[in-house]
Amino acid sequence: MEHSYSDYSRNLMKEDIAKYIQLTETEFECYYELLQFKSIKKNEKLLIPNQVCRQAYFIQSGCLRYYNLVEGEEQTGQFFFEESWYSDYESFLFEKPTNQTIEALEKTNVAILTKHALGKLYCEIPKFERFGRLMAENAFMGLRKYTESLTHVSAEERYKQLIQNRPKVIQRVPQQYIASYLGIRPQSLSRIRKNLT
Amino acid sequence: MEHSYSDYSRNLMKEDIAKYIQLTETEFECYYELLQFKSIKKNEKLLIPNQVCRQAYFIQSGCLRYYNLVEGEEQTGQFFFEESWYSDYESFLFEKPTNQTIEALEKTNVAILTKHALGKLYCEIPKFERFGRLMAENAFMGLRKYTESLTHVSAEERYKQLIQNRPKVIQRVPQQYIASYLGIRPQSLSRIRKNLT
DNA sequence: TCCATTTCTTAACATTTGTGAATTTATAGG
DNA sequence: CCTATAAATTCACAAATGTTAAGAAATGGA
């Protein structure tokens, strides 16, 4: 028997949700039915400033980057790879217009959980409150770790940590964006790379 | 009729929890009964490295600072003032030994919500799952805002933002800790302060 | 394959922050 | 109120990153 992409997608979502909560088959059905799916071309944008982010994205394959445009400069906030969630929490939770731009750095397939769908899940399957909590907690902890490295560690050290801890970023993200993520100029990153060899 | 400190404390906790969830009087009782209270002297520590953080602290009055000790250097992560919550999420959630030290910068009174008490609340009053989620979400958003200011802004600019956005820090925290929070040396902070006048 | 465009690298000089040492100022205890 | 100690300031020089400009390398379309 053949495996369709649909089977693959279901499995991905099943494995992911299992990291957070245990669902019966029926409950998973209910969840999966509420998801939407979308394919995003390289360089295409999923969210632009002043939009309200009413969706959370689970990346089935590919890579996303978000940045803020400040005085003409793209300030890269984070990269997201396959099997991770992304949303602009602040915009999503409070329906505030976002400052962020999200774009695909590669061809990317996402599963979409809308705010409406999540509200429905919170009501119908209270376990999802836990899912929401764990998502926020994970997001917080990842960010805290990153934040601490920012204030007290040099750019060179942060780059070395990136090589160690997130090789995907080094392998798949153009250097100019890595520089922007590190908070330095592309020229400075070149210099750092030169020093490391 | 006189108001006791206990009345004051109850009101503080009631006003705080109301920011997250609506509780009946009975439910609030259940919550309040589970809280513990503690008074911490200036410079006293609430948590030290390798302990597991099994408590969340609501600061009724005073001020806490947490830092990580890295190669003999105190790297200040954050300051917390009255009417805010603190816990080491990672340690609290996963019962991992903490790296952090929390100390009181002033005489501080805290309400303590233990992991055990929170677990009980999650079971007995499912609304508290929402409380947990909102706490994590708030923590995340506060941190994200801070993080973005970090990567792409000079120390001087960050100090100016601190003056604007968190005057309590400027007024109540010794400069050496502010410098450590900004990720610079006390001498550099002095220099920056000189330039600003 | 070739060309136009983008990305990356290099270099010289400017600016910001770090380092170490000395001095001044503030603070806590007796 | 005095004194010992800690905290903050100042300075000269070192190291890291920014800025500007130019050229080399990589990439994507025709």
pLDDT 10s digits, B12-35: 999 999 999 999 999 999 999 999
Tokens of A130: 């836990």
Residue with tokens 């836990």: A130
CB nearest to A140's CB, from B68, B140, B183: B140
Residue with tokens 């992409």: A5
> Given its phi and psi angles, is residue A50 left (phi above 0), alpha (psi -120 to 50 degrees) or beta?
left
Separation between the CA of B117 and the C1’ of D26 (whole angstroms): 59
- Express as a percent the part of chain B with pLDDT over 90: 76
What's the confidence (pLDDT) of residue A133? 83
Residues of B in contact with A91 (CB under 8 A): none
Mean pLDDT score across all residues of chain A: 91
What's the confidence (pLDDT) of residue B1? 52
Q: How far apart are CA A49 and CA A47, in angstroms?
A: 7
What's the confidence (pLDDT) of residue A150? 76
Determine whether the distance from the CB of B190 to the nearest atom of strand D is below 7 Å: yes
Number of Cβ within 10 Å of residue B150's Cβ equals 16
Q: How far apart are CA B17 and CA B12, in angstroms?
A: 9
Q: Are A96 and A190 in contact (CB under 8 A)?
A: no
| Of B11-20, B70-79, B95-104, B140-149, minimum mean pLDDT range | B140-149
Separation between the CA of A186 and the C1’ of C7 (whole angstroms): 10
Instruction: Tell me which chain A residue has its CA closest to the CA of residue B90.
Output: A141
Q: Render pLDDT for B160-190 as a digit per residue (tens, 0 to 9).
A: 999 999 999 999 999 999 999 999 999 999 9
* Element containing residue A12 per DSSP (H, E): helix A5-18
| Of A164-173, B3-12, B111-120, B139-148, minimum mean pLDDT range | B139-148
Over residues B116-142, mean pLDDT: 88
Q: Are B52 and B97 in contact (CB under 8 A)?
A: yes
Any chain B CB within 8 A of the CB of A90? yes
Mean pLDDT score across all residues of chain B: 91
Q: Render pLDDT for B115-127 as a digit per residue (tens, 0 to 9).
A: 999 999 999 998 8
Report which listed range, A5-9, A114-118, B157-161, is most confident.
Answer: A114-118
What's the confidence (pLDDT) of residue A117? 97
Residues of B in contact with A73 (CB under 8 A): 152
Interface of B with A in 57-76 (CB under 8 A): 68, 70, 73, 75
Q: Are B75 and A150 a contacting pair at CB < 8 A?
A: no
A vs B, Cβ pairs < 8 A, gives 83
Tokens of A104: 């695909």
Does A3 score more than 70 pLDDT?
A: no
Q: Are B126 and A130 a contacting pair at CB < 8 A?
A: no
The pTM assigned to this predicted structure is 0.84
Q: Are A182 and B77 a contacting pair at CB < 8 A?
A: no
Q: Are A144 and B148 a contacting pair at CB < 8 A?
A: no
Over residues B54-64, mean pLDDT: 96
Q: Render pLDDT for A158-186 as a digit per residue (tens, 0 to 9).
A: 999 999 999 999 999 999 999 999 999 99
Any chain A CB within 8 A of the CB of B159? no
Does A145 score more than 90 pLDDT?
A: no
Map residue A74 onto helix, strand or coil. strand
Query: Within chain B, what is the greatest distance between any pair of CA atoms?
Result: 56
Q: Which residues pair with A55 in a beta bridge?
A: A114
CB nearest to B152's CB, from A75, A126, A130: A75
In 3D, which of B119, B148, B132 has the Cα closest to residue B89?
B132
| Contacts for B81 with CB less than 8 Å, ≥ 6 apart | B59, B62, B63, B168, B172
Residues of B in contact with A146 (CB under 8 A): 147
Q: How confident is the model at residue A153 (pLDDT cuts 50, 70, 90)?
A: confident
How many residues are listed for chain B in this entry?
197
CB nearest to B143's CB, from A70, A143, A183: A143
Over residues A111-123, mean pLDDT: 95
CB nearest to B129's CB, from A77, A93, A130: A130
Q: Are B70 and A152 a contacting pair at CB < 8 A?
A: yes
The Cα of B6 is separated from the nearest Cα of chain A by a number of Å equal to 31
Amino acid at B14: K
Q: Render pLDDT for B62-85 as a digit per residue (tens, 0 to 9).
A: 999 999 988 888 999 999 999 999
Amino acid at A132: G
What's the confidence (pLDDT) of residue B129? 86
What's the confidence (pLDDT) of residue B134? 85
Does A137 score more than 90 pLDDT?
A: no
Task: Provide the sign of the torsion angle of the four alpha carbons B18, B22, B25, B31, taken in this order.
Answer: negative
Q: Are A151 and B93 a contacting pair at CB < 8 A?
A: no
Q: How far apart are CA A123 and CA A100, in angstroms?
A: 29
Q: Render pLDDT for A21-41 as a digit per residue (tens, 0 to 9).
A: 999 999 999 999 999 999 999
